[in-house]
Amino acid sequence: MTNQLSRRALLAGGASALALATLAACSSPDRARGGGSGGRTVSYWLWDSNQLPAYQAVADAFHEEHPDITVRITQLGWNDYWTKLTAGFIAGTAPDVFTDHLTKFPQYADLDVLYRLDELDATKGIRDDDYQSGLAELWKGQDGHRYGSPKDWDTIAMFYDRKAMAKAGVDESELQDLEWNPDDGGSFERMLARLTVDRKGRRGDEPGFDKDDVEVYGISSNGSGGDGFGQTQWSPFTGSIDWFYTNENPWGDRFRYDDRAVQQTLAWYYGLADKGYMAKYGVFSTTSGPDVQLGAGKCALSFNGSWMIGTYLGMEDLDIAVAPTPIGPTGKRASMFNGLGDSVTKQAKDPEAAALWVAFLGSDRAQRIVGEAGIVFPARPAGTEAAVASFRERGLDVSAFTRQVEEQTTFLFPVTRNPADVQALLQPAFDDVYANGEPVSSLTSVNEQVNNLLALT
């Protein structure tokens, strides 16, 4: 059986769900359990090219411990990754193990295309408290079974160029304790005004500033955030008010975008574009993300996740530093706390070999190797410590990311049923607010639609 899937179908959720349901009904169980002759091989997929060398080193270390098993790694870009993975499930060519995401695994678990890790010998001993608090629990389905082994974690902070701050006359210490509120934006908005410059050299807090002819924006633009719960856009602000996305987490069944407090916060955030402090929708292409904008001198502050540290450090012309997210009305700063995991597919030819690989990926030895590469923060404390040391050796203080975990100012990524269908409803609604000037009150309607969807499943 073959199917050709488009990215549009994948993101729409319903089409991919139907296709995968067809797979679940007609795929052969022998395909998942069959063994091969000779040496054992495990295929493994990931999407981040920056992490490929580190994970090859992990695969080499794994082979030292299990010389009869070879791991073949395939790296695909994010835009192709999920399309090809879904197509692989349908065609019977999915990898044995893959890097999984919290927005994807609930649907795969529901469609019974993943092994329960607590039912495989090598992974059944995974314990929640082996990892940073809260990460491992997120990879359990509504049935209580574990479908992913934590591999890393991330938080959000503000990247900036020290030279650009000096040029603007900003003392870097000012960035450490900025505060914001949805009424006047607080010291954070005043900082953005100072950092924003129009094409005639006038700053956003100076007379004559032209908000329609901006050369350097105070803060980076990164789309509406509707496709990822505003993780690298507005989540540090909505996370620092008395609000959360759903009525409970994980597995909430009601979203709360109809709440007045969050709508007020989002109105303030998108309003930064109207003031000229942030680019309006479409000024930068989808390939010109926050890192590109900062590197090109088109913004002064760039909100992004810790998984992007290596990319920013690679900007040779910039003297990169990081500041924490601003303090909100609750009196605390906030960051989404997200993490990736590794899952075993039911198409694995040798499930126990695949499970051995996943167990190794989640071990101290493997996560120290990844941490020492200085790309991401591994999920285990030992790996995190190795990463912090690696970044420090390269001249970057990453405490803006780690302090959120240490000070317990994080909130977890929202996990619900039917995540692809939820995002298919939310993204165009948020795009309309940012791109087309729809009032944030319009989110009340889509919130009802999403809740109706969850009520049906």
Residue 159 CA to residue 332 CA, distance in Å, equals: 20
pLDDT tens-digit profile of 237-266?
A: 999 999 999 999 999 999 999 999 999 999
What pLDDT was estimated at residue 1? Answer: 30
Inter-axis angle of helices 381-393 and 364-372, to 10 degrees?
20
User: CB-based contacts of 184: which residues, under 8 Å, 6+ apart?
Assistant: none
Sign of dihedral through CA atoms 223, 224, 228, 233? positive
Contact criterion met (CB below 8 Å) for 369 and 56: no
Tokens of 337: 């706390």
DSSP tag of 326: P
Tokens of 380: 């285990």
Q: For residue 223, which of 236, 237, 233 has the smallest C-alpha distance?
A: 233
Residue 243 CA to residue 177 CA, distance in Å, equals: 22
What pLDDT was estimated at residue 21? Answer: 47
Start-to-end CA distance of the chain, whole Å, equals 27
The number of residues making up the chain comes to 457
User: CB-based contacts of 226: which residues, under 8 Å, 6+ apart?
Assistant: 423, 426, 427, 428, 429, 430, 431
What pLDDT was estimated at residue 38? Answer: 54
Per-residue pLDDT tens listing for the chain (457 residues): 333 333 333 333 444 444 454 444 444 333 333 333 458 999 999 999 999 999 999 999 999 999 999 999 999 999 899 999 999 999 999 999 999 999 899 999 999 999 999 999 999 999 999 999 999 999 999 999 999 999 999 999 999 999 989 999 999 999 999 999 999 999 999 999 999 999 999 999 999 999 999 999 999 999 999 989 999 999 999 999 999 999 999 999 999 999 999 999 999 999 999 999 999 999 999 889 999 999 999 999 999 999 999 999 999 899 999 999 999 999 999 999 999 999 999 999 999 999 999 999 999 999 999 999 999 999 999 999 999 999 999 999 999 999 999 999 999 999 999 998 999 999 999 999 999 999 999 999 999 999 999 999 7
Ramachandran angles phi, psi of 212, nearest 5°:
-100, 5
- The label of the residue with tokens 């139907």 reads 18
Can you count the helices (H) and strands (E) in the chain? 18, 14
Give the chain's domains with CATH numbers.
7-153+340-379 (3.40.190.10), 156-337+416-456 (3.40.190.10)
pLDDT tens-digit profile of 329-361?
A: 999 999 999 999 999 999 999 999 999 999 999
